[in-house]
Structures are given as structure tokens and as C-alpha cells.
Amino acid sequence: MIFDRNDQKAVVALLGAGSMGTAIVRRIGAGKKILLGDISETALERVGEDFRRCGYDVVTMQVNALEKANVVAFAQRAAELGPVMYFIDTAGASPNQASPEHIVNLDMVGTGYAVDAFGEVMGVGGAGLIISSQAAYMYPIPNDIELQLVNTPTDELKNVKFIQEVAMQNSGIAYMIAKRMNHLQAQRAAATTWNKRRARINTISPGVIVTPLAYDEFNANGDGYQAMIDASAARRTGTSDEIAEAAAFLLGEHARFITGTDLLIDGGVIASIRTGDFKLG
């Protein structure tokens, strides 16, 4: 049976087939061509089949987000499928999952590769979204260093003295810096490469969101996460569906005047930190 006879459908490309990214795609993907990219063939098979059984038009592609050539090929594959109108990047590793070097390579440099590659293929009026983290607000970077980072080509980011001497020394700090760099990468792209294609790009910084992978963090630092939840105004964790609702807005027609910005969705954790009501351990 042919479920959809429409041609030249808008393409939604998702890099990182985890629960948060797939929730976003479910929210915006009806009637569109969906390209799922992930390093895990098992995850692609499982998620792709789930989408197909729910009536979505899905293509999958194995992608190593650490490899520039892989990411460029992923962007080119998206462009082959039709006009690329949506790109979502959720690929990343958390502090208790990886070494500082891996976090820098994946969450910072790999994200840069994706932003650069899709800046070459986005359709006019298209929109992109990087999933960052509330951690981006937890390690203030001096303004002169941020200016240096935002003007450093992706291939050279790892060689910046600040990255080598600070980010590479600790997984937690590496994660905070990499996630702040996601904001800077979106700002740079919004003003330059994506701007030239009349496409928008923003970031979302989620707080404590319950996902299957998040349990690695909870198991490693349950007391710390519990303290953040208890100190927040929301007094609870968030869900992938709540992130998807905000993502749908930023990717949609009602947000056409929004680009190069970050939306913090953390239930009030960062507000508690900034007012001194909560101190990181």
C-alpha cells in the first residue's frame, strides 16, 4: 500500500536518533520526508521501523558524527531527498559517558561539522535546531575567549589554547564548554552561512530531562541531580515531549523572526544558581 503519493516533500533531517530528537521529529514530521542519522545501526532499525509503522516516510543512514566526511555525506543525502527545511542535531555524549576529549570531539567539533555541512544545503525559509544543555550556563567563559572561539573554524577548535588547557582536563567542564560553544556555533551560522541561504538556526538548552540515556547520569550522580530538581521552581524533571513542543515552535512559521538565540528550558535550575539559592556541588 502506498501511504503518501506526494513528491518533493520537505525534508526533516535528524542527527542522533535518541528519544528527544525523535520526539521533535514526531511533532513536526507528518507529511514530510524524514532522514534519520545515527552511529548505531540497531537504533536506526528500531526507530525507523517504529516511525514507518506510525505512517511516517523515513529513510535511515548510519552516520559517525565525529567524522567530517560522514556528516557532509549526511547533509548531501538530505539534499538529494528534497528541499531541506528542517535540521535537528541531538548527537552528543554526557560527562559520565565519555572522556573530555570525546566530549570536545563530539559535542563541540562534531556539532560544528553538522552546522557547517547543513549550512550548505538548507532551503530558503528552512530552520535548524541544536540541542545544547543547561550546562552551557554553568561555566562562564570570558568574553575575549568566546570571541576567539566564535571566530575559530571548526577544524581548528580543538587547538585553541583554552580548549586544550581547560576543556580537555575534566569531562564535566568539557561538557559545559562544549554546550556553550553550541550557542556560539548557532550565532555564527545565523549571521553567516545560514543567513546566506535565508535559513534560521537556534539552540535549546534542556535541564534535567528523563530519557533512557539520562539514567547513566542519574546512576552516577543521583544526589546532584536530585538537588537540582529540588532547587528548581518546577520541582520536577522535564520530558522529551515538552522539549519537542518548544522545538516545534522554534522550527515553525511563528518563529520566523528568531535566529541565533538559545531557549533555556530547565524548570528554573539556572535561575536558582544565579540567585544563589542553589550552589553546584
Mean pLDDT in the chain? 95
Measured CA angle at 190 (ends 188, 194), to 5 deg: 110
Nearest to 137 by CA among 175, 107, 167: 175
Question: What pTM did the predictor assign?
Answer: 0.95
Evaluate whether residue 219 is within a structural domain: no
Residue 235, Cβ neighbours under 10 Å: how many?
Answer: 10
| Per-residue model confidence (pLDDT) at position 250 | 98
| Per-residue model confidence (pLDDT) at position 236 | 95
What is the rounded average pLDDT of the residues 229-251?
Answer: 96
Residue 31 backbone class (left: φ over 0; alpha: ψ -120 to 50; beta: rest): left
| Per-residue model confidence (pLDDT) at position 8 | 84
Share of the chain above pLDDT 70, in %: 100
| Per-residue model confidence (pLDDT) at position 72 | 98
Q: What number of CA atoms fall less than 13 Å from residue 62's CA on the CB side? A: 6
pLDDT digits (tens, 9 = 90+) for 214-224: 787 788 788 88
What is the rounded average pLDDT of the residues 5-22?
Answer: 93
Evaluate whether residue 113 is within a structural domain: yes
**Is-catalytic flag, 179?**
yes
| Per-residue model confidence (pLDDT) at position 107 | 97
The CATH number for 64's domain is 3.40.50.720
| Per-residue model confidence (pLDDT) at position 22 | 97
Evaluate whether residue 226 is within a structural domain: no
Evaluate whether residue 221 is within a structural domain: no
Evaluate whether residue 227 is within a structural domain: no
Catalytic: which of 86, 113, 137, 175? 175
Residue 214, Cβ neighbours under 10 Å: how many?
Answer: 19
pLDDT digits (tens, 9 = 90+) for 98-156: 999 999 999 999 999 999 999 999 999 999 999 999 999 999 999 999 999 999 999 99
CB 25 within 8 A of CB 86: no
| Per-residue model confidence (pLDDT) at position 94 | 86
Catalytic: which of 137, 139, 179, 196? 179
Domain hosting 89: range is 11-209+239-267
Higher model confidence: residue 231 or residue 258?
Answer: 258
Evaluate whether residue 281 is within a structural domain: no
Evaluate whether residue 29 is within a structural domain: yes
**Is-catalytic flag, 175?**
yes
Evaluate whether residue 142 is within a structural domain: yes
pLDDT band at 270; cut points 50, 70, 90: very high
Domains: count for the chain: 1
